[in-house]
Structure 1
Amino acid sequence: MRHNKKINHLGRKSSHRNAMLANMCISLFMSPNKRIFTTVAKAKALRKVVEPMINKSKEDTTHSRRLVFQDLQINSDKSKAAVTELFQNISQKVADRPGGYTRIIKTGNRLGDNAAMCFIELVDYNENMLKEKKAAASKGRTRRSSAAKKNADQPVAVKESAKKAKAEEVEVAPIVDEVTPEVPATEEKPKTEE
């Protein structure tokens, strides 16, 4: 059972693990396509570190810069460049996204030790995925039939008049029972003898 095991230690002591994740964050932020190739376990651990940093970068204050720099303070030159990149470029690109800044794409197993490998990337920097999403959004898939879709585009008054016209077409003339015409009764005059 894995009770109360909320962190994957990745087979390392805490100082080694923190340094490794900080280096991976710097590599992710500084790579030109904002993507790194790593194992699935490391990527999942990295996601827990990167996402809060990107959230903090949305508010460009001295305090939030210091908090991010505190987590990345491994090699000060690379850390400063990564913090600058994060707050100037990345935060602008993800400004309207409410979370979920990273994507993990599994690529299969490594040949040497059969470890599960993947890419971890920033969502807004993958141009191919963004094009596919825009194309899918413009296509406008719906589960409604084409007739219902056509009616959805018409104004309400047109819809109501169309309904009335259909009702009139469907209506059949009322069936009238054949009734013999009533002849008005004429008053018979009493016959008088002549």
Structure 2
Amino acid sequence: MAGGHVKYRHLSRTSSHRQALLRNLVTSLIKNEAIHTTWPKAKEAQRLAEKVITLAKRNNETARRKAQGILYTPFDLMPKLFGELRERYLERPGGYTRVLRTETKDKYSQAPSAILELVDGPKDMRFAMTAAAVARDRRLGKDHTDLTRKNMDKVTRYRRDGKREFEDLADKISALNLGVTKSTKALSPPSE
């Protein structure tokens, strides 16, 4: 951020427009558990999303009112926020969201894009990518790299049945990959 020390990104918007944008992004994040937006918007929405989940972990009347003031559809999302998400992150000390950089979303503006997602959920991309890496290593008969081992520890640390879920997903991916390689061999023409 050029232009000196500031507490947050202004996102080229007025204060009310920026607050509305961030509330909308956080509402969509809690509803869908993953959103695709520009990188600066994702980083700013991440800050607000972390605060909202921390409010859910407190689970008192003041926290409920503050969270209700942030969400655009509180009656739809408050049960999910103070139920499912609160239970998921009760033992986690912080870091409830993750920002992953992606290719540009719009080919005309070329703005840096990112995916903002809730960690340890059904749409956790790092969990799936690590399971795919483990399945690939098993298929090739190779040992896991240090990075894969660290990621395995990270993605299963705060999940309730993390190890079992991880092994199930790695087995599913292995079965899919084995099915693809068998079917492609059957479809390929015989070599002469």
Task: Sort the TM-score into its range (normalised by shorter chain).
Answer: 0.5 to 0.7
Q: Is the 8 A contact 2:118 2:124 kept in 1?
A: no
Q: How does 1:129-144 map to 2 (within 5 A)?
A: 129-130=126-127, 132=130, 136=149
Counterpart amino acid of residue 114 in structure 1: Q
Q: Cα 1:11–1:60, aligned 2, differ >3 Å: closer, same or farther?
A: same
Match of 2:11 in 1: 10
Percent of aligned pairs with the same residue?
A: 30
Q: Secondary structure at the match of 1:111?
A: coil
Q: Which structure carries more helix by proportion? A: 2
- In the TM superposition, 1:74-113 aligns within 5 A as 74=72, 78-109=73-104, 110-113=106-109
Whole-angstrom CA distance in 2 between matches of 1:7 and 1:137 = 32
2:53 counterpart residue number: 54
Q: Is contact 2:98–2:118 with CA below 8 Å preserved after alignment?
A: yes
Secondary structure of the corresponding residue to residue 44 of structure 1: helix
Q: TM-score, normalised by structure 2?
A: 0.63
1:121 aligns with 2:134: no
Count matched residues.
134
For 1:95 and 1:136, locate their aligned partners in 2 and report how far apart those are by CA, in whole Å.
Answer: 25
Match of 1:28 in 2: 29
The TM-score, its normalising length taken from structure 1, stands at 0.62
* Structure 1 residue 129: Cα displacement: 2.9
Are the counterparts in 1 of residues 99 and 114 from structure 2 also a CA contact under 8 Å? yes
What letter corresponds to residue 126 of structure 2 in structure 1? Answer: M
How far did 1:127 drift?
Answer: 4.8
Conservation of the 8 A alpha-carbon contact between 2:34 and 2:115: yes
Cα gap change, 1:16 to 1:139, in 2 (>3 Å): closer
CA displacement at 1:16 relative to structure 2: 0.8
- SS of aligned partner of 1:69: helix
Q: Which has the larger radius of gyration?
A: 1
Where does the alignment leave 5 or more consecutive residues of structure 2 unmatched?
135-147, 154-192
Give the Cα–Cα distance (whole angstroms) in 1 for the partners of residues 28 and 150 of structure 2: 32
